[in-house]
């Protein structure tokens, strides 16, 4: 497979990250924030965002799996849980892409039961597909079509995550 088309450029992505970073700095001013990145896809979004933040922030990561190849399996499994106790903390979950919403609604259920002070979501890309669930996404980057995309953390069978832009495969 080859990359056929750049959908969203590196500079568009970076200016969106700046915008979201500014908003987070404003919203959490004077408060602690724990950012939870969902591995592996969110590692690039989290690291770019981290450099923009001025609030008192810490980071943790959780690993879940729901996909094989280009099709969702409908199953979500925790592969690696958090290291940090989230009770009483302001939590922002950072995800690469919101497709059916299965992953995030599952995580919300689990993390809500650990009694955080607040729990919000940021998704870099929102897919225009049927959502199995409605979830309030506080910060989002770009709305995109239903096609399978790679780059900026997103992979196809482990490849293409390193691309600084978002692309579709041919």
- Which sign does the torsion angle of CA 97, 152, 9, 16 carry? positive
Q: How far is the CB of 140 from ligand IMP (least distance, A)?
A: 13
| 3-state secondary structure (DSSP) of residue 144 | strand
Report the residue from 21, 37, 41, 141 that binds Mg ion according to the rule CB under 5 A. 41
Q: How far is the CB of 153 from Mg ion (least distance, A)?
A: 8
Tell me the C-alpha to C-alpha distance, in Å, between residue 46 and each of 10, 22, 43. 15, 14, 5
Q: Does 101 bind Mg ion (CB under 5 A)?
A: no
Catalytic residue among 56, 85, 99, 130: 99
Q: How far is the CB of 58 from ligand IMP (least distance, A)?
A: 22
Residue 99 is a catalytic residue = yes
d(CA 82, CA 117): 16
What the block records as the tokens of 48 is 């770019």
Residues that bind ligand IMP (CB under 6 A): 41, 66-67, 72, 95-103, 127, 148-150, 154
């Amino acid at each position: 497979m080859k990359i056929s088309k750049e959908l969203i450029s590196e500079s568009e992505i970076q200016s969106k990250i700046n915008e979201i970073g500014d908003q987070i700095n404003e919203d959490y001013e004077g408060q602690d924030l724990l950012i939870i990145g969902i591995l592996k896809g969110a590692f690039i979004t989290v690291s770019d965002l981290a450099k923009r933040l001025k609030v008192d922030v810490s980071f943790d990561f959780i690993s879940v799996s729901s996909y094989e190849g280009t099709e969702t399996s409908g199953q979500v499994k925790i592969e690696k849980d958090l290291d940090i106790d989230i009770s009483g903390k302001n939590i922002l979950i950072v995800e690469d892409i919101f497709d059916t919403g299965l992953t995030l609604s599952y995580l919300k259920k689990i993390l809500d039961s650990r009694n955080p002070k607040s729990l919000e979501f940021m998704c870099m890309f929102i897919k225009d597909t049927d959502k199995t669930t409605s979830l309030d996404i506080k910060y989002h980057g770009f709305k995109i079509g239903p096609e399978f995309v790679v780059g900026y953390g997103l992979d196809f069978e482990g490849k293409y995550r390193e691309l600084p832009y978002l692309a579709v495969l041919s």
